[in-house]
């Protein structure tokens, strides 16, 4: 079966870049709570877990760091631009927090998008993002 050898080689070529990325620790963020699709009672505690990036206060100007942002029932802003302040539904966790309590969500469906951005409040590249949808009773 000659065909098996080329397939293996091809497989190695495809898998190699993925392994390389894992080693350099491409950053990720996960919204641990609330679970996607969950029905919860308010207030809703959002719990964030980042890997491959150090979560620090927004005052820390160091590569490899960032702070969390939450877009609550708000679309993402352009990813090459500064995430705005003072906008309802956009939260900067600028003290390096990894949890935030949403205490004024109305009953019904909601969507939270978490994005890690640097000290300039510009999203990291590649984008470090996670989304959950849930319902408040
Ligand atoms: Cu920010």
Whole-number Å distance, alpha carbon 68 to ligand 1 midpoint, is 7
Query: Which pLDDT value is given to residue 15?
Result: 46
Q: Check whether 17 has a pLDDT greater than 50.
A: no
Res. 4 pLDDT band, cuts 50 70 90 = low
pLDDT tens digit sequence for 28-42: 999 999 999 999 999
Report the mean per-residue pLDDT for the chain: 88
CA of 120 to the centre of ligand 1 (A): 7
d(CA 119, CA 124): 10
With a CB cutoff of 8 Å and minimum separation 6, the contacts of 115 are: 29, 68, 69, 71, 76, 83, 123, 127, 128, 129
- Chain centroid offset of residue 25 CA: 15
16 confidence band (pLDDT: 50, 70, 90): very low
Q: How far is the CA of 27 from the centre of ligand 1 (A)?
A: 17
Q: Dump pLDDT digits (tens) for 63-73.
A: 999 999 999 99
CA of 3 to the centre of ligand 1 (A): 53
* pLDDT above 90 (res 96): yes
The answer for residues whose C-beta is within 8 angstroms of residue 9's C-beta and 6 or more apart is: none
Q: Summarize pLDDT for 105-133 with one digit per residue, the tens.
A: 999 999 999 999 999 999 999 999 999 99
Q: What does the block give as tokens for 27?
A: 């950053």
């Amino acid at each position: 079966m000659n065909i098996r050898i080329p397939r293996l080689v091809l497989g190695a070529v495809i898998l190699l870049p993925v392994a390389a990325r894992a080693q350099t620790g491409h950053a990720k963020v996960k919204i641990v709570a609330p679970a996607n699709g969950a029905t919860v009672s308010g207030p809703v505690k959002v719990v964030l877990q980042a890997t491959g990036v150090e979560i620090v206060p927004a005052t820390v100007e160091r590569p490899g760091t960032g702070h969390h942002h939450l877009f609550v029932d708000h679309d993402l802003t352009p990813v090459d631009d500064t995430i705005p302040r003072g906008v309802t539904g956009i939260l900067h966790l600028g003290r390096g927090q990894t949890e935030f309590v949403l205490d004024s969500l109305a009953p019904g469906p909601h969507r939270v998008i978490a994005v890690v951005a640097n000290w300039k409040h510009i999203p990291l590249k590649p984008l470090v993002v996670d989304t959950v949808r849930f319902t408040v009773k």
